[in-house]
Amino acid sequence: MRYAMAVDTRKCVGCSDCVVACQTENNVPIGFCRDWVVEVVDGTYPQLEIELRSERCNHCDNAPCVRCCPTGASHIVEGGVVMVKPNKCIGCGACIASCPYDARFPHPKGYVDKCTFCIHRVREGMKPACVAVCPTKCMYFGDLDDPNSDVSVVLKKRKYKTLIPEAGTKPQLYFLI
């Protein structure tokens, strides 16, 4: 099993509904976010191109945050989902420094917090909050090992990219282009 997510940069309108849904679902403290929207403007005026991306933890196959964690608080659960055990985390910040995507942040309570792919919802057969709430239905979630999952189907049909693959982290967040 390998959970992954695909985000359609051509359908996303950058409304940040995914961000609010995540904050509500996961009780993310005020001022912080586990997912966020990035807008990239390319070109020379008036020939401009905009790409919108809803970003979050890439749940890397080769996760530097899990490798550098001194206590084993950062760990991998089913489907390759990277998680943090708050009662094992000492808040040293090594994982935060190790992430090229800066997807982690220190929770005000001290431990490190991040996207969980809403594993608590996925275990009950639901989609992650950000995917479920998206008004343009631009996000796809599922198991890459299942050829009929939403994410497998869309990745077969469309061209995609991942973020900084050259960092060697094998990210599992795909952006349809």
Q: Which residues bind other proteins (CB under 8 A)?
A: 16, 19, 31-33, 36-44, 55, 64, 67-73, 86-94, 96-100, 102, 104-106, 109-112, 163-164, 166-168
Instruction: List the one residue out of 85, 122, 84 whose CA is nearest residue 103.
Output: 84
> Strands 47-55, 173-176: parallel, antiparallel or unpaired by DSSP?
unpaired
Instruction: List the one residue out of 155, 177, 5 whose CA is nearest residue 81.
Output: 5
- Looking at residue 142, what DSSP letter applies? E
Q: Minimal distance in Å, beta carbon 153 to other proteins?
A: 26
Q: Minimal distance in Å, beta carbon 137 to other proteins?
A: 20
Beta partners for residue 157, in sequence order:
none
- Is the Cβ of residue 149 or residue 169 nearer to other proteins in the bound state? 169
Q: Kindly report the backbone phi and psi dihedral angles of residue 95, in degrees, each rounded to the nearest multiple of 5, phi listed first.
A: -65, -35
- Is the Cβ of residue 18 or residue 122 nearer to other proteins in the bound state? 18
- Is the Cβ of residue 57 or residue 122 nearer to other proteins in the bound state? 57
Give the residue carrying structure tokens 């299942």: 146
Q: Minimal distance in Å, beta carbon 146 to other proteins?
A: 29
Q: Minimal distance in Å, beta carbon 174 to other proteins?
A: 14
